[in-house]
Amino acid sequence: MKRERGDGFTLIEVLVVIALIIILAAVLFPVFSQTREAACRSRCLANLRQLTLAHHLYVQDYDDTLPGWQLAGPRGVVLWTEFLRPYYRDARLLEEGLTGPAEKRQMGWVADYALCAWGPGGKGTAEAPYWRWPGCPSPRSEGGQAMMLAEVLRPTETVQFADGYTLRDNPFITNCMIRVRHRNGLLNFAFLDGHARVVANTEWNRVSRNARGYFYALAAADR
């Protein structure tokens, strides 16, 4: 059968359609990426709120004693993910959704979050500001006592949970660290009073000063 004139598309029309698709993709893909990032950040903040609620319940049951991120046990160290488990129950709260299965196995993954409870550090100078996360025991020279809730002077400004990793290589070797997981250098933090929010890098590094010297505003629980 003879093909009628006008059937199908010319090469120029096909190229125009392809060009339009490329332009639309260039416009829409960043939007989709931003939407996905916003959804991930919202889910992360919800997880952090639930974890800090579990932390509050634990602290209440232990006479307002703030726990470290790991405790000594008869068969190795017990991580915060374990001793808080009766309070948060759903293990999915430990996942931010940004760490793949293969990476988890390689790194000894336990959680996509860190319980900030180590220190103290720094010298209180402008060059080396002081820091001490809530739950960090006092220095051995001062008795090495567990930190109490009443010792935290600014609970609304003091970080307790953060984006990062909790890792376990074996029963005795573990690690807990803060890591930027979101775009533009943003970190999700949960504060000791229970609220969670996004913190920009400038605020994360903010330094304040009192009569005792310079300190990191979000990381010095007893200043």
**pLDDT at residue 9 greater than cutoff 90:** no
Q: pLDDT at position 3, please? A: 46
Residue, of 171 and 56, whose pLDDT is higher? 56
Q: What is the mean pLDDT of the chain?
A: 87
**pLDDT at residue 65 greater than cutoff 50:** yes
The encoded tokens of residue 36 equal 């996905």
Give the percent of the chain with pLDDT over 90: 64
Mean pLDDT of 38-59: 91
Residue, of 29 and 22, whose pLDDT is higher? 22
203 CB-near residues (< 8 Å, 6+ apart):
217, 218
Which secondary-structure segment (H or E) carries 157?
none
| CA pair distance 97, 114, nearest whole angstrom | 15
115 CB-near residues (< 8 Å, 6+ apart):
55, 67, 69, 80, 135, 160, 161, 166, 176
Tokens 């310079």 belong to 214
Q: By residue range, what is the domain housing residue 39?
A: 11-220
Mean pLDDT of 208-223: 96
In a domain, 65, yes or no: yes
In a domain, 211, yes or no: yes
In a domain, 3, yes or no: no
Mean pLDDT of 207-218: 96
Mean pLDDT of 147-168: 95
In order of 10, 24, 29, 30, the CA distances from 20 in angstroms are: 16, 6, 14, 16
Could you give the number of structural domains in the chain? 1
Residue type, 32: F
Residue 38 CB coordination number (10 Å): 12
Tens of pLDDT, residue by residue over 132-143, are 999 999 888 788
In a domain, 4, yes or no: no
In a domain, 1, yes or no: no
In a domain, 5, yes or no: no
In a domain, 185, yes or no: yes
Mean pLDDT of 160-189: 89
Tens of pLDDT, residue by residue over 101-114, are 999 999 999 999 99
